[in-house]
A and B are shown apart, each in its own frame.
Chain A
Amino acid sequence: MPTKYALLINGRPVSVEAEPDATLLSILREQLDLTGTKYGCGEGQCGACTVLIDGRAHRSCETPVSTLPGKSITTIEGLAENDRLHPVQQAFLDEGAMQCAFCTSGMIMSAVSLLNNRPNPTDAEIVQFLQGNICRCGTYPRILAAIHRAGAAKEARP
């Protein structure tokens, strides 16, 4: 049965009506026009749909809306502060860490989640954390470099 849910997305309270098992991905894309979060596989295998829930990376294609009230959701659209890019976004630009860039939103959100817990991760930690994010264009080495750069930039900030 369609139910009303009060959600907090990118710091803004929104109300949506959906079946309890509707995925966060479908709510973002179809009801809220937040299309920066992508569908890539629908089985949590590619990471294109990654968003932050209370600061941690989650696959929105596998997250039912009914589990979300009371939690804070951040999508790629909510990462920059006004015109100022998040350090991870800036690092992806600086490293040219994209080709078709369809994976980029998910990569960035996963990287933000990693850096929230490990401000200066090793290569091995990045690889392990982002193993679930696919880039078919093969920009992995640059993404790795971008995450290191963002980590260093965050460290340098007061």
Chain B
Amino acid sequence: MTVNKSLALPLEPERYELHSPSSVLFETNRREFFKFFGAGIFVICAAPKAVTLQESGGGRRNSEDNLPQEIDAWLHIGETGEITAFTGKVEVGQNIRTSLSQAIAEELRVPLASVRLVMGDTQLVPFDMGTFGSRTTPIMNLQLRRVSAAARDGLIAIAAKQWNADPAKLSAENGKISDLSSKRSASYAELVKGRQITQLLPAEDPLIPPAQWKVAGQPVPKVDGRDFVTGKHRYPCDQTLPGMLYGKVIRPPSFGATLVSADLHAAEQMPGVTAVRDGNFLGVAAPSSALAEKAGAAVHAEWRSEPQLSATDLFEYLKKNPQRPDDRERYETGDVAKVFSASEHKLSATYNIHYIAHAPLEPRAALAQWNGDQLTVWTGTQRPFGVRSELATAFHLPEEKIRVLMPDTGSGYGGKHTADAALEAARLARAAKQPVKVNWTREEEFTWAYFRPAGVIEIASAASPGGKITAWEFHNYNSGTAGFRTYYDIPNQKIEFHSVNSPLRQGSYRGLAATANHFAREVHMDEIAASLKMDPLEFRLKNLKDERLRAVFEQGAKQFGWDKPRAANHGFGVGGGYEKLGYTATFVEVTLKPDTGDIKIQRVLTAFDCGAIVNPDGLRNQIIGANIMGLGGAIFEAIEFENGRIINNAFSKYRVPRFRDVPPMETLLIDRKNERPVGAGEAPIVGIAPAISNAVFAVSGIRLRNLPMAPLLVSQGYQLS
């Protein structure tokens, strides 16, 4: 593995990731474990800290029968040979159920179909902070490969002992351990029969190098795809239980409103209806969703609302209301002020980013069931353990009494970190003494979830006449720190994040603030290049040392045909960067019809490098998907709000990308077998917005510095599609 020195930026912490402290550590008795899973071999991947604690005898109670704490992943091979791996990561469409299964099958040398993955069930899987930040592939994929490799070597050791053979001469293939010299072989099932073996990971265990992968690295289809095309898969909103009621929450008329009074009488008279008032929470549960709707409408509630900021004043507010200076996160090198005062080629510009919604196609849903003081909740969340923790706090319960299960969910994009629907379902179920399902409406999803943070970004730069950037000052107000450092080589830098008390509830999103920060940075790069009359790609490369980032720009440009002559009214734009350990460059071609002002995106190409590729088919799906999702925020998505209310709270009012919005899209995958595999769910989203903006400038001379871009263009008589 090579260490990438020039880009050894730390992963920027993202303040809007809702971290959950790992307050509860797993503690399981190994006998109980085998009682639960059956005999076999059981391999545990413990975090190094936990191993240290064990070795030093420190930390919590520890006996031979207890498993170590702070485990990342575990794997069980049962007496019939079935392989089950357990991870706290969850599937929301990023296809990790498949890519993680590939990693396990690879190291265990078994067909993909013999691997089963248990994901996101807090009773069965090790603690995990959550599925965000593109950590699954760089971390969990590696951990599962390690446990699988250890299991394989454990099986070899069993066979070697049984046959009195040299383990080095035995090999694993197709679910069997074989001794080529004596022609003996035994299936994994035969080898583990009747045994109860627990094995900790050895400190060093060689993994199969990506260049020799047979199952990993292949474009295998989604492992349970058939369940999705037949409607058999049950998403969180499809879960049912006998006697289940349907919950409905009565929402305030505006954010932050206080419940003054509520009359539940009419609702409570309806057959089978339970109504609950608890503080500001107001909800009903009924035997059908229609009756729940009716009962909810029959609740008479009075709320006290406070006047609040509206979208029209958003950017001025963000700029003028940063928190205390010590809340800043900053990075500084060299002397920016000195260079600015001495430079002639200077630019400064402001970029505004609107709030946008995740709008996952499956709105939040949760089914809650109480059994005495034990609570079980099925819900769609990227943080099952975080939801468990929120439930424990809300109901004053120890976390051991709560089980959260996460069926593969109808997407999240960073929007399903919180426990909202789970809390509501559990509160109603407790009152009704029956299981309750809460399924948010689309309007609720658009209003009561949280948004990608809005932001104001100010950049000032100085450059030498020859095209080297000499100073870079970057201020981000509110949108976040992800990707706010620059990967260009600039001797004098001042980069600051200013937190603001957001007028709307805001949180994580695919790529987090990296989309906003890359947009501003990559558009500004284009502005400097234009002011110096340089080719924007050449200008980038002149200021860029990192080889992998150069490669996505250069190879992408080659495939795109950047150097080819451009026809009249055709414009090219580029934007890219380094994000969540991945390298990305996106190229866009637009055309302009001067008589009508119609600007049309003709084609998009993204070159991407995420190390050794685990599944090229899933990767392409993620890159194209990220670009299409990115089109929405780039061109037309924006949350309109007024005095504590969301105005465009429906798909008929909030436009998301549809079939017609999608131009031809191409991917260029750079597969680096010698680099560790990293994630791809987020990084490919960052290039599309600046590439479009820069292409529009190239064809029209109009500089688009806001997300979304369409409103300004429309105000000048143009259309962008």
Residues of A that sit less than 8 Å from B by CB: 18-19, 22, 26, 29-30, 33-43, 45-46, 48, 75-77, 79-80, 85, 89-90, 92-93, 96, 98-105, 108, 126-127, 130-144
Contacts and interface: CB of A to CB of B under 8 A. Distances in A.
B231 A75 contact: yes
A141 B624 contact: yes
Given A36-B232, A38-B237, A127 B621 contact: no
A90 B289 CA distance: 34
B228 A104 contact: yes
A89 B232 CA distance: 13
Given A127-B659, A134-B656, A41 B230 contact: no
A98 B225 contact: yes
B360 interface: yes
A133 B656 CA distance: 11
B411 to A, nearest CB: 4
15 contacts: A35-B238, A35-B240, A38-B362, A46-B361, A85-B230, A93-B229, A96-B222, A96-B617, A98-B229, A99-B93, A101-B229, A101-B233, A102-B411, A138-B627, A142-B621
A11 to B, nearest CB: 16
Contacts of A42: 441-442
Contacts of B233: 101
B229 A89 contact: yes
B252 interface: no
Leading 3 A-B pairs by shortest Cβ distance: A36-B231, A100-B93, A138-B628
B94 A76 contact: no
Nearest to B437: A30
A99 B237 contact: no
B409 interface: yes
B588 interface: no
A35 B652 CA distance: 24
B411 A39 contact: no
A127 B229 CA distance: 20
Given A43-B650, A99-B621, A100-B93, A130 B228 contact: no
A46 to B, nearest CB: 5
B511 to A, nearest CB: 14
B363 interface: yes
Contact of B660 (A38, A48, A75, A131): A131
B625 interface: yes
A4 to B, nearest CB: 16
Contact of A45 (B246, B650, B660): B650
Contact of B230 (A39, A77, A143): A77
Interface residues of B, number: 57
Nearest to A40: B361
Contact of B411 (A33, A136, A144): A136
B692 interface: no
A100 B90 CA distance: 11
B164 to A, nearest CB: 47
A36 B408 CA distance: 14
A76 B226 CA distance: 12
Nearest to B294: A19
Interface string B288-301: 11100000000000
A137 B658 CA distance: 11
Interface string B621-660: 1101111110000000000000000000011100011111
B591 interface: no
Contact of B228 (A19, A98, A140): A98
A87 to B, nearest CB: 11
B231 A105 contact: yes
Nearest to B91: A100
Contacts of B123: none
Contacts of B618: 96
B221 interface: yes
Contact of B625 (A34, A40, A85, A137): A137
B660 to A, nearest CB: 6
A107 to B, nearest CB: 10
Contacts of A99: 93-95, 411, 621-622, 625
Contact of B289 (A30, A37, A48, A105): A30
A127 B289 CA distance: 34
A48 B228 CA distance: 13
Nearest to A80: B230
B142 interface: no
A144 B627 CA distance: 17
Interface string B225-254: 110111111110110100000100000000
A105 B233 CA distance: 11
Contacts of A132: 658
B361 A103 contact: yes
Contacts of A41: 442, 650-651
A140 B229 contact: no
Given A26-B289, A134-B656, A139 B625 contact: yes
Given A41-B651, A99-B411, A138 B222 contact: no
